[in-house]
Amino acid sequence: MAKNQKYVFDSKSLSFEKAKRRPWVNIWRAVGFVSIAGVAGLFMATYITQYLASPKELQLQNDNRILISQLVEMERQVDEMEEKIGELNNMDVKIYRSIYEANPPKKPDYRGADFKELQSLPRSKQIIRIRQKLQKLDDLAIAQANSYKSLKKLITSKKVMMNSIPSIQPVKNKDLKRMASGYGYRIDPFYHTRRFHSGMDFTAPTGTEVYATGDGVIIHSSNDGWGYGINVRINHGFGYTTLYGHLSRVAVRKGKRVKRGEVIGYVGSTGKSTGPHLHYEVRKNNNPLNPGFFYHNDLTDKQYTEMLEYSKRETKSFD
């Protein structure tokens, strides 16, 4: 009997005869075989592509992964640069232009391009986003550079003003130990009442050098008796004046032009004073200001913060 040969019983001849195969059965079998073969071929092709790729294909896949990671890193760096430029702009507006009394820089008119020519590339959204950020950075950098150029011209024109504005302590006081009484309301050592102290007191031995805190012209150098005693006053221009009181003696005369850091007198205890010290005032348009705000040239950030904190304490003044 032939393998896979089917037989059927014929009721007429009362015997088994070979079954005849219908043509559509053979067709469906052929279709099924082709389908199974196609699926198997697709599976093998996928397996070969992913797991048995050629060295060239493997290199291309690796290059693609590297390019994607580079895009991610590039976008991170662009965001970081944008943050730094923002910090520079903030310093420009809040510090530099505030010091030099200048108007804030004009913001760039950034509208951005659409970069439609890049839309056909793989990862086009990310690439276009990076290009737009880079264009914005370029505009911001140009605007910031122009701002610094204008500031440079302003600084040059205001160099005289910057040299004139008081910006150092009037006695050597790096460790801040010589500060005895700060600006604000204090207890009067003579009358024991609370009154406004319009300057700062620095304790130091009699004869300690006292320095001009900015360039200017001596407008007063004499003994006023009770009160500030022997004192020196400097007109720095631009509305600023400084006063140095209770000196033991002076080293300058009225009308003399002095430079910042030049010795103008010596610590004493003349006038209304309870002991050797220097009473120092800063005024603008004759209005008293906290001298602590004008020591930025010879103190570190930490010392400056400590000094301002110390100056707020309500202690007994020396005058």
- Is there a single domain that holds both residue 113 and residue 187? no
201, 317 contact by CB (below 8 A): yes
- Is there a single domain that holds both residue 137 and residue 237? no
Residue 267, in any domain of the structure: yes
Residue-number span of the structural domain to which 99 is assigned = 55-157
Count of structural domains within the chain:
2
Residue 294, in any domain of the structure: yes
Residues 304 and 298: their CA atoms lie apart, in Å, by: 9
3-class DSSP state for residue 218?
strand
Residues 148 and 153: their CA atoms lie apart, in Å, by: 9
Q: Please give the average per-residue pLDDT across 60-66, as a whole number.
A: 76
- Is there a single domain that holds both residue 133 and residue 245? no
Q: Angle 55-91/124-157 helices, nearest 10 degrees?
A: 30
Residues with Cβ within 8 Å of 8's Cβ and at least 6 positions away in sequence, in order, are 16, 17, 19
Within 10 Å of residue 152's Cβ, how many Cβ atoms?
A: 10
pLDDT at 1 over 50: no
- Is there a single domain that holds both residue 190 and residue 151? no
- Is there a single domain that holds both residue 200 and residue 285? yes
Residues 258 and 267: their CA atoms lie apart, in Å, by: 18
- Is there a single domain that holds both residue 289 and residue 183? yes
Identify which of 317, 316, 299, 297 has the alpha carbon closest to the alpha carbon of residue 308: 299
Read off the tokens for 92. 């420009």
Residue 32, in any domain of the structure: no
pLDDT of residue 319: 56
- Is there a single domain that holds both residue 67 and residue 129? yes
Which of 34-48, 185-199, 290-304 is most confident? 290-304
Residue 17, in any domain of the structure: no
Read off the tokens for 288. 């008293």
**Residue holding tokens 């099924």?**
32
Last-in-domain residue among 157, 189, 207: 157
Q: Could you give the count of Cα atoms lying within 13 Å of 316 in the half-sphere of its Cβ?
A: 10
- Is there a single domain that holds both residue 214 and residue 248? yes
C-alpha Rg value of the chain to the nearest Å: 44
Greater model confidence, 64 or 309: 64
Residue 75, in any domain of the structure: yes
Read off the tokens for 269. 């205890």
Residue 290, in any domain of the structure: yes
- Is there a single domain that holds both residue 239 and residue 149? no
Question: What H or E segment, with its residue span, contains residue 49?
Answer: helix 23-51
What torsion do the CA atoms of 206, 212, 218, 219 make, to the nearest 10 degrees? -80
**Residue holding tokens 């391009």?**
113
Q: Is the dihedral of CA 296, 297, 301, 303 positive or negative?
A: negative
174, 303 contact by CB (below 8 A): yes
Q: Please give the average per-residue pLDDT across 81-106, as a whole number.
A: 70
7-57 per-position pLDDT tens digit: 655 666 666 666 555 555 555 566 555 566 665 666 666 666 665 566 777
- Is there a single domain that holds both residue 153 and residue 188? no
CATH code: domain of residue 205? 2.70.70.10
Task: Average the pLDDT over each of 67-71, 167-171, 273-277, 303-307 and give the range with the smallest value.
Answer: 303-307
Output the CA–CA distances (angstroms, integers) from residue 27 to 7, 18, 31, 32, 37, in the order listed.
Answer: 21, 20, 6, 9, 15
pLDDT of residue 5: 62
Residues 276 and 85: their CA atoms lie apart, in Å, by: 50
Last-in-domain residue among 157, 187, 202: 157
Greater model confidence, 116 or 111: 116
Residue 174, in any domain of the structure: no
- Is there a single domain that holds both residue 186 and residue 225? yes
Q: Read out DSSP for 230-298?
A: EEEEEEEETTEEEEEEEEEEES--TT-EE-TT-EEEEEB--SS-SSSEEEEEEEETTEEE-GGGG-TTS
Paired residues of 81 in beta bridges: none
Residues 178 and 210: their CA atoms lie apart, in Å, by: 13
136-157 per-position pLDDT tens digit: 778 778 877 777 777 777 777 6
Read off the tokens for 284. 């603008």
